[in-house]
Structure 1
């Protein structure tokens, strides 16, 4: 009889440990709306978190090293204000993603797939922010006629890849505010799909067939990095 040998994971005996209380943020109301999202994005200096708020469209940008400005006479109350509040979306925000190479550049996009169809819950807008100044640098308003399911930066940050409820995958040059390539009906199912840039510039998508069967696909990108 042959015996099947399963190689053990090298991470089998690796355990995480919580940081000290003075390195944690408390009382952050993370959004309770469920969608296909990571709810937060992190770079070496900041964390952006989608939070629960009336009307939607709210998220916090907090410093990881927790640098606070202490009043001259000392503290008389806990500091709870974020470093910057970014205001520009008219409705709910469901996607945040830091630029892979540029410092303090954050992308946000509307995502509200779980809201009733008779409620207009998202603006189908992609905004690229300068977190240092709190200003919107680029706003992509008219490229998505329906809910944006996912947004992914290319490896050098020159292009964006989006998946939309209209079943199209788009490659966008954000600086030119131009769609440089798109794939219609990447997955024909009605359920949400996602698309990401791979390191070689190709696109990987996950979605569903008309029979709600999970599908994976790899697409050759016609775009060339500049």
Structure 2
């Protein structure tokens, strides 16, 4: 029989690993079992959730600081439980939010030149979830607006400037929320859940405008954008 080989336009493309001095080396990435990338990057810094004793922590490195990272390098370490998710503010490259197993969301101000000492005091602590917080996502266009989702099946939209909850969507989901994503202008959010449903939610009206059933038992954190 003649063997059929599938043709690909990428068949002559080969990747090349970067040199060691262009990599971040010897970082103790968190081993917490959660559906997260455990890292976030912006034009100035890369943040990585790391192993920490007695609480949760993440490391913030300037993009140019590559190579072997010293084990004593300072961290952001104000949570009392493991950090599950982090997200850089799209409007300020020195502001980052973190969600944790301690049921809180914290917002941090990173020094202009990066960390020289461990950072333990957040700018604001957002308390409203009754179970661990696994998702944080900044609003794409509005300043000081942050979304969080937890294992309590609730989505909270915060005013970071005042530390108050603007909207609490606690009756939209009957099971664990796997992912939440804003659309491009921040008027809608899309969620996937353990109940095998994808929902499009208008947060201002606090109502589900459409939903669809899915066949996969597990929907990982995938982005959604409206056209």
Q: Which TM-score bucket, shorter chain as reference? A: 0.7 to 0.9
1:145-196 Cα offsets, whole Å, 9 max, x none, are 111121110013431112122222111111121111122232212x443222
Aligned mates of 1:82, 1:47 — CA distance in 2: 17
Aligned mates of 1:124, 1:13 — CA distance in 2: 49
**TM-score, normalization: structure 2?**
0.73
Q: Is the 8 A contact 2:60 2:75 kept in 1?
A: yes
Q: Is the 8 A contact 1:195 1:203 kept in 2?
A: yes
1:25/1:215 CA distance change after superposition, 3 Å: same
Paired residues for 1:67-216 under 5 Å: 80=70, 84-110=74-100, 122-132=101-111, 134=119, 135-140=121-126, 142-156=127-141, 157-189=143-175, 191-201=176-186, 202-209=188-195, 214-216=196-198
Higher strand share: 2
1:79/1:174 CA distance change after superposition, 3 Å: closer
Paired residues for 1:52-67 under 5 Å: 52-66=51-65
Task: Kindly state the Cα deviation for residue 57 of structure 1 after the two structures are TM-superposed.
Answer: 0.4
Paired position in structure 2 for 1:115:
none
1:18-63 Cα offsets, whole Å, 9 max, x none, are 2221111211111122101111011122111111233340221111
Aligned mates of 1:79, 1:59 — CA distance in 2: 13
Task: Kindly state the Cα deviation for residue 144 of structure 1 after the two structures are TM-superposed.
Answer: 1.0
- Secondary structure class of the residue paired with 2:25: coil
Paired position in structure 2 for 1:73:
none
Task: Kindly state the Cα deviation for residue 96 of structure 1 after the two structures are TM-superposed.
Answer: 1.2
Paired residues for 1:31-70 under 5 Å: 31-66=30-65
When the two chains are superposed, the root-mean-square deviation of aligned CA atoms in Å is: 2.7
Q: Is the 8 A contact 2:158 2:164 kept in 1?
A: yes
Paired position in structure 1 for 2:212:
none
Paired position in structure 2 for 1:27:
26
Q: Is the 8 A contact 2:38 2:86 kept in 1?
A: yes
In structure 1, stretches of 5+ residues that fail to align are: 1-7, 69-77, 111-121
**TM-score, normalization: structure 1?**
0.73
Q: Is the 8 A contact 2:97 2:106 kept in 1?
A: yes
1:15/1:103 CA distance change after superposition, 3 Å: same
Aligned length: 190
Aligned mates of 1:177, 1:11 — CA distance in 2: 49
1:15/1:207 CA distance change after superposition, 3 Å: farther
